[in-house]
Structure 1
């Protein structure tokens, strides 16, 4: 597993690709984000999107999966207190090939929990044309190999 000590500020990794079919996008949107442009081409026809587009929350879920399963070794994650600056920058369409570039922006030891450190990741999700479709900053609680 990748622990707190294994990550250095500036480390970057590209993960993926992953994608979602039109059926997967509609199923997700039907359950979690039933806006017309996420449900059908007809519902998106006269909108900014023009055709069926993924929910941003679906894009975030795909990115999270890459972050947790896209490495040769899993992260020793203990969860997250949250994220900041979530931006959906461009639409994601059926079968777009998405990759996530994850960069260690900062890290520090926890003051109250010696078994963990906090790692701040800058995340950019890109499509097959290298266009950033989503970005955010995530703070992860990471297990330490040998707590003090």
Structure 2
């Protein structure tokens, strides 16, 4: 888990890496049976004769796996985040059983709120690649997060006037 990061701690271009995320056939089929039961995700025989030549992961499964990785890695520590939207979602290459995904998350924009000075938003470009470096999925995520709370003036002044003594 990362340290707590707030809006004012971040800079455009800052990146985090995630993964590895192993895509196992049983997980691909189980997810698709519940959420995306199309033949290329759940039926080995039909998938083998289809345009992908075998089972592939649902794009929604890949998105969910990336979300799980983000929560587990906690690059912003315990800072509360709120996902606001996803733009430009692209499933660029089929994800197959045995693929191992890596993730890059890069801040591409930071915008303090004009109406709520205690928060703002960041736009992050999320890119997932397989073990061969082929990009399999990408999207732009708008996330709201708080600014670091300023230390109240009397406390800050008292701390400056009486710094802690060394041991």
TM-score (norm 1): 0.91
- Stretches of 4+ moved more than 4 A in 1? none
TM-aligned CA distance change 1:136 to 1:9, over 3 Å = same
TM-score (norm 2): 0.82
Distance in 2 between the 1:121 and 1:91 partners? 23
Stretch deviating more after TM superposition (80-89 or 39-48):
39-48
Matched, 1:126 2:129: yes
The alpha-carbon deviation at position 73 of structure 1 amounts to 5.3
Which of 49, 55, 58 is the equivalent residue of 2:58? 55
Q: Following TM superposition, by how much is the alpha carbon of 1:146 offset from its aligned partner in structure 2, in angstroms?
A: 1.8
How far, CA to CA, are the matches of 1:75 and 1:85 in structure 2? 28
Cα RMSD of the aligned pairs, angstroms, is 1.8
Quote the Cα distance in structure 2 between the aligned partners of 1:111 and 1:72. Answer: 25
Q: Which residue of 1 aligns with 2:142?
A: 139
Q: Secondary structure at the match of 2:123?
A: strand
Q: Which of 111, 114, 130 is matched with 1:108 structurally?
A: 111
**C-alpha separation between the residues in 2 aligned to 1:117 and 1:102?**
18
Identify the match of residue 43 of structure 1 among 43, 46, 61. 46
Map Cα deviations across residues 88-120 of structure 1 (whole Å, 9 max, x no partner): 000111121111111100011112222211000
Aligned residue pairs total 148
1:14 paired to 2:17: yes
Answer yes or no: is the 8 Å Cα contact 1:15–1:71 preserved in 2.
no
Structure 2 unmatched runs, 5+? 151-167
Q: Choose between structure 1 and 2: higher helix proportion.
A: 2
Q: Is the 8 A contact 1:54 1:94 kept in 2?
A: yes
Deviation at 1:39, TM superposition (A): 0.3
Whether 2:130 is the aligned partner of 1:91: answer: no
Structure 2 residue 36 is the aligned partner of structure 1 residue 33: yes
Deviations 1:36-71 (A, max 9, x none): 000032121122211111000000011112222225
How far apart in 1 are the matches of 2:118 and 2:127? 29
